[in-house]
Structure 1
Amino acid sequence: MVGLFALCSTARAQSVAAGTGHSLFVCASGNVMTVGQNTVGQLGDGTTRQRQLPITVPSLSGVKAVAGGDETSLFLKTDGTVWGCGGNTAGQLGVGDQLNYSTLVRVGTLTDVKAIATGYRHSLFLKNDGTVWTCGSNQGGALGTGNTSAYLTTPMQINGLTGVVAIAAGYVHSLFLKSDGTVWGLGQSLDGELGGGRNEEILKSPTQIPGLSNITAIAASREYRAHSLFLQSNGTVLACGSNYYGGVGSGTPGATMRVNTPTPVAG
């Protein structure tokens, strides 16, 4: 841990992201450093060697944001293009195939992107015009294609979804924060993570989550037994989904297995 903090301090990390077993750091220079598991090349160094100290990703500069998935890494450049590496078994890198990559590849032909997110096996891309594009696993309808076909290997726009200012990708669900403070969701609400009293229900098109207003930030866990978090403008936090590990903060872990409507986090 001493080496990690020393290197990041020297590089002046400006933005960070965590995958399932790896971490990403955007430095003040616009370069990116990565560390951790590298089983399918998610560190972007051309190898599958695990790293215990951060390394600089070769040939990558001008980055302003990073996102880490299960075994996938995404990098948003200042020019609005997106690049990635690592796991691509469901097409979550958007390059038109299902091959894993240990070196950087460009995500489709996307431009004008301002935010990125990647979940268990799917990725989301928010453009400056408020539209959202997606690729990867469509399990539970998480891609918003109107069906539950297996996957998309190139990014496709989610129809009927506009005015989005923030995105979050979970296990088999996706969240979208709109400029009016409402939150919309897609995918399967396995344990209530899409609110609305839903358990096991599949949403194939963007649907507003009832009971949420004045929301300023969202987050979604990408592990099985997923949950969702919503930050209100008054500083309070609401949560819904699985409480198997106590993720929604509603008391003793496992005591309430599912919270299927957004509920204030205790304390």
Structure 2
Amino acid sequence: MSDVSLGMPSLPAPDYPADVRARLDADADEVIARYPDSRSALLPLLHLVQAEDGHVTRTGIRFCAERLGLTTAEVTAVSTFYTMYRRAPGGDYQVGVCTNTLCAVLGGDAIFDELKRHLGVGNGETTADGKVTLEHIECNAACDYAPVMMVNWEFFDNQTPESARALVDDLRAGRPVEPTRGAPLCTYKETARILAGFPDRRPGAVEASGGAGPASLAGLRLARGEGAHRVGPPRTAPTDGGPTDGGPGQRQTSEEGEG
């Protein structure tokens, strides 16, 4: 008997059809070969079955367990621990709105509330057309572009309720959507296959990934412009007219001179 509230699968789970199983076995062989200990391949294999099914199914759990010599309980424990693994079917586009402190005060809460109203769904729910699953995210690690959304883990920076509404409308209508930075957008299943470790073969996708954006490097540019590079605690103001003392480990910059 299954306990749905705990996310535990009923057993035994059915296997994949023979043609699907053969294809996944070939992919799994490639993934497992990357690791000296086969059980280390569990995370990418979970992404692989998500690329097939759109979420971690009972059949996907059985597949991972059989390929890695694990129990289905062990696979289930891992798949329910990490939030990037879905436990139920979802949309083609996972739309995450950051509601952590900086994004929230700059408009993240307003964006999330607007999308819930506009899409008619709650947190973790999917639109009736199967296109968009909405979720709030605690941090997208992009505070310098707040408020930030992610669609299938690609960044959409400096959002407003209006731009967020237009974005999900475009996704549902099948219109082209370009992330603010990073690789071109693809579907959830396509993203899962990339996360499983299979290269994105679309022309220009790897080159488009790039590095840190301009806002992320603002502090570095400012430091270089001022010629400041300081190690250790900041200098304290003198109280007796003497020189400032930065304390142990203070290093002078080349502009300040040595000695």
Structure 2 length-normalised TM: 0.29
More strand by share: 1
State the structure with bigger RCO (CA 8 A, min sep 6), 1 or 2: 2
Structure 1 length-normalised TM: 0.28
More helix by share: 2
